[in-house]
Amino acid sequence: MIQAITEVMDQKLAEDPRVMLLGEDIGVNGGVFRATDGLVEKYGEDRVVDTPLAESGIVGTSIGLAMNGKIPIVEIQFLAFIYPAFEQVVSHAARMRYRSRGQFEVPMVIRTPYGAGIRGPELHSESVESFFAHTPGLKVVVPGSPYDAKGLLVSAIEDRDPVIFLEPTKLYRAFKEEVPEELYRVPLGKAKVVKEGTDLTIFSWGAMLREAVNAASKLEKEKGMSCEVVDLRTLYPLDRDTIIESVKKTGRAVVVHEAHKTAGLGGEVISLINDEALIYLKAPVKRITGFDVPVPMFSVEEDYMPTLERVKRGIEETVNF
């Protein structure tokens, strides 16, 4: 996945002189995950910028850059380190178009690795997508495969609104997939049915997709259950139509996310189902999520996240309700 992401930035830098990369250690170091490896050598320090260590500075100046004709692609080193920039993201990037009644816009992408499962130190494993999905004016995108990473990032860069692009660290080097060399687009706001099924729908995104798909194929083999897996891909705004269509077909659903349960997006998905497909439900929709505790030290992070077993059990309980 990381290669697909690097490729997009490379191609976009080449194609569009307005594109700039900004972030900590993204120059000669190539970023701590090497997403920008080799790019400063190719495009120079004016376009691939090692910034001072100040997230508010990075995002705040990028808002200015974006309003004045640039397309900044910002890298925040880890999602939890975006907090110093929270005000800039929420109070300005998200609201500039609105407040200026369309006179100014902030076309920028904030890329950041996120999620647990890589034995990261404290604060390197958070999944706080809800903060951003609770902010009108932002779009929130999470790729679940290398193919989608490339296509979604292209769409994010071309989008006229600020996009929070969350990259699941666990998937960075998790699997190989052939990705077309040329630029292509995967539309924002569209979920993807990863696997078709008839008994239940699993809604998920990011690193938890693998658990979802594994649970689906295990349950198919072991119990003959047919699970549909939907990768939401864009968390804000949600693809209501795909969600509702799938639930109407299967009549049952679970949401699997590694973010905390309370005020996590699982609740939002359930609300949509409640609004539009309640009468199709044969069982209450279950949330299988990270617990409502700070993401703990990595010695117990496996148990913090929804494990394959927990996902399987949740599905069985819902099917056998």
User: Which member of 92, 124, 257, 260 is catalytic?
Assistant: 124
Q: Which residues, listed in sequence order, are joined to residue 287 by a DSSP beta bridge?
A: 255
Q: Rule CB under 6 A: choose which of 1, 5, 24, 191 binds ligand TPP.
A: 24
Verify binding: residue 84, ligand TPP, rule CB under 6 A: yes
The reply to whether omega before 237 is within 30° of 0 (cis) is yes
| Contacts of the segment 48-53: beta carbons below 8 A, 24+ positions apart | 48/13, 48/20, 48/21, 49/20, 49/21, 49/22, 49/23, 50/23, 50/24, 50/25, 50/26, 51/22, 51/23, 51/24, 53/24
Q: Is 124 part of the annotated catalytic residue set?
A: yes
Q: Which stretch binds ligand TPP (CB under 6 A): 41-49, 77-85, 165-173, 288-296?
A: 77-85
Q: How far is the CB of 320 from ligand TPP (least distance, A)?
A: 45
* Subset of residues 80 to 139 that bind other proteins, contact rule: CB under 8 A: 80-81, 83-84, 119-124
For 156-212, give the DSSP string. Answer: HHH-SS-EEEEEEGGGTTT------SS-----TT--EEEE--SSEEEEE-TTHHHHH
Q: How far is the CB of 173 from other proteins (least distance, A)?
A: 14
Q: How far is the CB of 164 from ligand TPP (least distance, A)?
A: 17
Q: How far is the CB of 33 from other proteins (least distance, A)?
A: 10
Tokens representing residue 162 in the block: 């600020």
Binding track over 285-304 against other proteins, x by CB under 8 A: ------xxxx-xxxxx-xxx
Alpha-carbon span 110 to 73, nearest angstrom:
6
Closer to other proteins by CB, 32 or 154: give it: 32
Q: How far is the CB of 116 from ligand TPP (least distance, A)?
A: 16
Q: Rule CB under 8 A: choose which of 180, 187, 309, 321 binds other proteins.
A: 309
261 binds, among ligand TPP, other proteins, none (CB under 5 to 8 A by kind): other proteins
Closer to ligand TPP by CB, 123 or 300: give it: 123
Q: How many residues does the structure list for the chain?
A: 321
Q: Rule CB under 6 A: choose which of 56, 81, 134, 244 binds ligand TPP.
A: 81
Distance of CA 115 to the CA centre of its chain: 10
Single-letter residue type at 169: T
At 295, phi and psi to the nearest 5? -55, 120
Alpha-carbon span 293 to 297, nearest angstrom:
11
Single-letter residue type at 109: V
Under DSSP, the state recorded for 73 is E
Alpha-carbon span 1 to 35, nearest angstrom:
10
Verify binding: residue 57, other proteins, rule CB under 8 A: yes
Q: How far is the CB of 31 from ligand TPP (least distance, A)?
A: 11
Binding region for other proteins (CB under 8 A): 24-25, 27-30, 32, 50, 52-57, 80-81, 83-84, 119-124, 261-262, 291-294, 296-300, 302-304, 307, 309-310, 313
Residues of this chain that interact with ligand TPP (CB under 6 A) are: 24, 53, 55, 77, 81, 84
